[in-house]
Structure 1
Amino acid sequence: MSSYIRVFHAVPDAPAVDVYANNCLIVNNISYKHISQYLYLPSGPTNIKIYPAGSMGIPVLDVNIVVPPMEILTVAAVGTLSTIGLLVIEEPKFCNPYHQSNIRFAHLSPNAPSVDITLRDGTVIFGNVSFKDVTDYLRVAPGIYELQVRIAGTNQVVLNLPPVALNPKTFYTIYAVGLVGEMPPLQALLSVDRIC
């Protein structure tokens, strides 16, 4: 049995890369902040190698994972080039019966502290999220939301997100990527995970 996976390049100081599964090229020339299309990958033990795009010299990552059967996954390359690793993130397989939006937050900024995701008035939506943490989905009313990223437990805003329009019956992930106080800068990416 197979699963659907997509690859997310979230390593801020890494070049564009090629990704191999069991020595077969599955994604080529994917650059920072980009997410591939979903593709089939057989379930079971899987060797993942990541090389600088166009090269098959020494991989920047060579790791073994187990792909579970009949799942939908985002496989994110995270950290920095010297600490690169994979984070396997499960995506929703089923829809819910509600006419609402579903949103979660994933902290993929390697040098950012733990953070809170809040509304502009300070209301905490997701609290104390650390690097490589992925929250559960939160069901909210569809609409336009203005969110902020704050250092956990404080009023210190490190990032104002542009207004986010959330549609009904849709699952989203907000990914925090980049570096605090360095280049490329901290920013948020909105991913559509599933439309029901």
Structure 2
Amino acid sequence: MVKSFWKNRVLVAALTASISTMGTGCGDDEVKTPVPPPNTDTARLRVIHGSPDAPAVDIYAEGQTAPLFSNVRYGDTTAYATVPAGTYNVQVRPAGAPATSEPVYSTGPLTLGTDATVSALAAGLLTSTDNAQAFRVLPLAEGFGAPADGRARVRIVHAGADAPTVALDVGDDGSSEVPALQRFQDTGASGVDLPAGQSFQVGVRAGGTKVTAFTVPALPSRGEVFVIATGQLSAKPSAANGFGLLAAGVGLVRQNPVVYALHGSPDAPPVDIFAGNAELVDNLSFGELSAPLQVPPGAYSLDVFAHASGVTRPAGNPAGTDTTPTLVAGERYLVVAAGFLSPASTDPVDSTFELLAFADGFTPDKDSMRLRVVHGSPDAPVVDVSPLASGLVPADAAFNDLAYRQASAPEGVALPSVQAQVGVAAAAATNRTPVARFSLDTAPFIGKGVFAVAAGALSASEATEASFRLIAVDTSVSPWAAITLQPEAP
């Protein structure tokens, strides 16, 4: 229909031009046929790419040789194109594909009325055969109402390809302003009023349980914005297809960072951790991993107290205080409480209590275990860690020259499925006999990213300090899980 529409317009224009040049044979007194005015019935159309597994695409009206929009990538919002009002079959092709190639998706008849403004949202998974999450284009006819002063009018669309029906909690305070939003549904053409001029929190809940939260950047006062939940909830938050909020024309907002705290201080009792007056961690013992903590992006000053009943901040000075590095949206972190609360005179001078933070930067690898070693033993020297060769730590160890507070490469070292003895040796020692050895079976961890934290005191006092060990933190499960590996007897 679009093809015939344009063809007819071309014919009419050509005929009109021909008639306008024809006279009556009366010289200067000839009467010319007036040219009809151009068609002013137009609509506005733009495209929002919210399909996390779709490549960059070109958008065509069927029958046209030039795309309406070119090279639209995931997360992009195009400018509005003004087009003649009418009915279109909008077609999607990979960016750069010939106009004559088979489209990967066609909308079918899409009517754009005179003066209509429509945002066409590409959503779902292009590679899915499940109708509940398959690729589609959602035509969203815009009809925002005027927001109040100091507010923005927002239309929220649920396009999370694998997310269930969700509730949205503006302020993340436990009360849901949008109680139930189904997949591929939205809050209505008129939108909802949200705070403007300052960032705010949005919590996402499913079945009454908090799933995640976001820090939404400041929206323009009296502005009108589409906010689209997109990506895959099952994916790693930092992944390209991770679940996020796409503010049309602004960009993708990643989930608030998640922190797991690991108690690795050899002489600290069970502890409570506070940020100001808010208790974040309660009664965490040496070697234990906390539940996940989701906080807005930023750096935090944390106070550590010996465990006490209740959730009120104790009076007096904390046993230890430290500030985290800046925590970034979309990231997950392992924060190790390390060092000595009460270092002995024989302990290294730089071994006092502190927080060590490491981002989950593991490279996906379905065929190998990805291992990242963290040196969190405050009295251990610079070490090499490796599978043993003839009972010794080889000079070309898998992990070389790790000093206290340091970790190996964020992406992790790829290890195949093996059962091996792993040894730890002082890097400077000519004697490569390990000071500690551990049995390691990588088979259960193939396809997973694992932190191996060297924790405890290498020269521990049995009465007051935890001894040296490895704590393996599996990041592939939710919540993360910690397993303690004790050294074997020499």
Structure-2 change in CA distance of 1:62 and 1:163 (3 Å): closer
Determine the structure 2 residue equivalent to 1:59. Answer: 103
Determine the structure 1 residue equivalent to 2:222. Answer: 169
Q: Provide the identity percentage.
A: 25
Q: Which runs of 4+ in 1 moved over 2 A?
A: 95-98, 139-144
Show CA shifts across 1:24-67 (max 9, x none).
31001111111111111222210111111111322111232111
Question: Does the alignment pair 1:111 with 2:199?
Answer: no
Structure showing the higher helix proportion among its residues: 2
Q: State how far apart, in whole Å, the 1-side matches of 2:177 and 2:147 are.
A: 22
Structure-2 change in CA distance of 1:4 and 1:155 (3 Å): same
Structure-2 change in CA distance of 1:48 and 1:140 (3 Å): closer
Q: Which has the higher contact order (CA 8 A, sep 6+)?
A: 1
Show CA shifts across 1:40-96 (max 9, x none).
122221011111111132211123211122111100111111432210012236x63
Q: State how far apart, in whole Å, the 2-side matches of 1:74 and 1:147 are.
A: 23
Determine the structure 1 residue equivalent to 2:142. Answer: 91
Structure-2 change in CA distance of 1:58 and 1:180 (3 Å): same
Structure-2 change in CA distance of 1:52 and 1:91 (3 Å): same
CA-CA distance at 1:192 after TM superposition:
5.7
Contact 1:146 1:164 in 2 (8 A): no
Q: CA RMSD in A?
A: 2.0
- Counterpart of 1:187, as a letter, is G
CA-CA distance at 1:98 after TM superposition:
3.4
Name the larger-Rg structure: 2
- Counterpart of 1:173, as a letter, is F
Determine the structure 2 residue equivalent to 1:188. Answer: 245
Question: Does the alignment pair 1:36 with 2:40?
Answer: no
CA-CA distance at 1:155 after TM superposition:
2.5
CA-CA distance at 1:173 after TM superposition:
2.1
Determine the structure 2 residue equivalent to 1:150. Answer: 205
Contact 1:23 1:49 in 2 (8 A): no
Determine the structure 2 residue equivalent to 1:19. Answer: 59
Structure showing the higher strand proportion among its residues: 1
| Structure 2 counterpart of 1:102, from 128, 135, 153 | 153
CA-CA distance at 1:141 after TM superposition:
4.6
Determine the structure 2 residue equivalent to 1:10. Answer: 50
Gapped regions of structure 1 (runs ≥ 5): none
Question: Does the alignment pair 1:127 with 2:184?
Answer: no
CA-CA distance at 1:122 after TM superposition:
1.3
Structure-2 change in CA distance of 1:86 and 1:121 (3 Å): same
Contact 2:159 2:184 in 1 (8 A): yes
Superposition TM-score, scaled by structure 1 size = 0.88
- Counterpart of 1:45, as a letter, is T
Gapped regions of structure 2 (runs ≥ 5): 1-40, 128-133, 251-490
Contact 2:225 2:248 in 1 (8 A): yes
Show CA shifts across 1:116-148 (max 9, x none).
110211121212111111103122453432111
Q: State how far apart, in whole Å, the 1-side matches of 2:249 and 2:78 are.
A: 12
Q: State how far apart, in whole Å, the 1-side matches of 2:82 and 2:202 are.
A: 34
- Counterpart of 1:54, as a letter, is G
Q: State how far apart, in whole Å, the 2-side matches of 1:177 and 1:86 are.
A: 13
CA-CA distance at 1:176 after TM superposition:
0.6
SS of 1:32's equivalent in the other structure is: coil
Q: How many residues align?
A: 190
SS of 2:229's equivalent in the other structure is: strand
Superposition TM-score, scaled by structure 2 size = 0.37
